[in-house]
Amino acid sequence: MKCPFCNHPESKVVDSRLGKDKETIRRRRECLSCQKRFTTSERTEDSLPLVVKKDGRRETFNPIKIFNGLKKACEKRPISIDMIEKIVNRIEVYLQEKGEREVKSSEIGERVMEELHRLDGVAYVRFASVYRQFKDIQEFMDELKELLGNKEDTKKQSPSSKHP
């Protein structure tokens, strides 16, 4: 991502937001050479590391998937879309700063959990009880969508009955 002012090839991400179409990400970047800031619109998969799933498969990190999963899980909680976007944003910036080409899905999962813990106890517990059984954020998000799509009677199954 070359700087439009001085053509320097490296910049850092200072902020990012989902585009209106939810398929692109608008990033605020700062040039590492001249320190000027500029905005880019990028496809999500272009600049983020691959996620290594627990079975060893790799897939592109998809912030939109995490955004949608969080949005669904935070339903009926006092959490704004803006707050959810900020969580996704922080995770993305973290991954970019880490600068590695691959990242374990469990690590992303832990980051999401930490953020939620700070934000909302109920949403955190709701997430944690399900997430711990998966250890894989993508799989977890898929499952969560189905869980929340079901009626309330899924609550009868105690989420705290973990096997050691």
C-beta closer to Zn ion: residue 34 or 122: 34
Minimum CB distance to Zn ion, residue 18 (Å): 26
C-beta closer to Zn ion: residue 6 or 122: 6
Cα atoms found within 13 Å of the Cα of residue 42, Cβ hemisphere only: 19
> Tokens 């869980």 sit at which residue?
147
Minimum CB distance to Zn ion, residue 107 (Å): 31
Minimum CB distance to Zn ion, residue 134 (Å): 42
What is the contact mask toward Zn ion in residues 18 to 47, using x (rule: CB under 5 A)?
-------------x-xx-------------
C-beta closer to Zn ion: residue 5 or 97: 5
Q: Beta partners for 70?
A: none
Q: Which residues of 130-145 are buried (b: 16+ CB within 10 A; e: fewer)?
A: bbeebebbbbbbebbe
How big is the CA angle at 23 (ends 17 and 24), to the nearest 5 degrees?
50
Query: Which of 2-10, 67-75, 92-100, 141-149 is the region at the interface with Zn ion (rule: CB under 5 A)?
Result: 2-10
C-beta closer to Zn ion: residue 68 or 96: 96
Q: How far apart are CA 88 and CA 20, in angstroms?
A: 15
Minimum CB distance to Zn ion, residue 11 (Å): 8
One residue of 2, 5, 80, 102 binding Zn ion per CB under 5 A: 5
Instruction: List CB contacts of 71: < 8 A, sequence separation 6 or more.
Output: 81, 84
Under DSSP, is residue 54 helix (H, G, I), strand (E, B) or coil? coil
Q: How far apart are CA 18 and CA 114, in angstroms?
A: 21
C-beta closer to Zn ion: residue 29 or 111: 29
Query: Which of 3-11, 52-60, 102-110, 145-153 is the region at the interface with Zn ion (rule: CB under 5 A)?
Result: 3-11
Chain contacts with Zn ion (rule: CB under 5 A)? 3, 5-6, 8, 31, 33-34
